[in-house]
Amino acid sequence: MRRRRLAPALVSAATAALLALAPTAWAAAAVPADKPLVLDRWTQTSAASHESWSEARAHRSSWTAYGFDWSTDLCTSSPDNPFGFPFADACARHDFGYRNHKAAGLFPAAKARLDEAFHADLTRVCARYSGTRKGSCDGTAWTYYQAVRLFGIS
């Protein structure tokens, strides 16, 4: 049996088409090796960690290859803005930490830190207030933190 050779132009066109599709088709299969490091960096207690996560969240499409789960139910069954304190963003980052550490099989070792980062985020919200309002915010933040520390599993 005689083998036929494909015309070089046809081979070049087919190769170009395959390479054009590669980033989209292969993105899920080729998760960057530094994913655990990025996840760890975005879930620390510091304000810089929160800022890095927030910036990434605003530009999620830049992080598609990492396959992060950005979904959130915010503060679950608790108010997102209890007594007018804007806790939704802290709850979203907490969800991000829980969901992605679970998916990576890293959750049990990270849970305490994720809960502490949540409390740090809430405390930063409360730092905007003064007097009795700050005291109310701090008390509410402590209650939210204790709830996830004791019951947080999702």
**Which of 67, 132, 121, 57 has its CA nearest to residue 94?**
121
Average pLDDT score over residue span 27-48: 87
Please give the pLDDT value at position 32: 87
- Alpha carbon distance 17, 141 (integer Å): 53
Q: What is the pLDDT of residues 91-141, one digit of tens each?
A: 999 999 999 999 999 999 999 999 999 999 999 999 999 999 999 999 999
Q: Of 85, 122, 121, 117, nearest to 98 (Cα)?
A: 117
Token readout for 20 is 């054009």
Residue in 50, 59, 94, 101 annotated catalytic? 94
What would the pLDDT profile of 22-34 be if each residue is shown by its tens digit? 444 334 457 889 9
DSSP class of 4: P
Residue 84 has pLDDT above 90, yes or no: yes
The type of residue at 110 is A
Q: How many CA atoms lie within 13 A of 141 on its CB side?
A: 23
Q: What is the pLDDT of residue 29?
A: 54
Q: List the domains of the chain with CATH numbers.
A: 31-151 (1.20.90.10)
Residue 64 is given by DSSP the state G
Query: What pLDDT is attached to residue 31?
Result: 80
For 63: left if phi > 0, alpha if psi spans -120 to 50, otherwise beta; the answer is: alpha
- Is 101 an active-site residue? no
pTM above 0.75, yes or no: yes
Query: CA 110, CA 128: separation in Å to the nearest integer?
Result: 28
**By the 8 A CB rule, do 93 and 43 touch?**
yes
At 55-76, the pLDDT tens digits run: 999 999 999 999 999 999 999 9
Confidence of residue 152 (pLDDT cuts 50, 70, 90): confident
How many whole angstroms separate alpha carbon 53 and alpha carbon 74? 15
Q: What is the DSSP string of 122-134?
A: HHHHHTT--HHHH
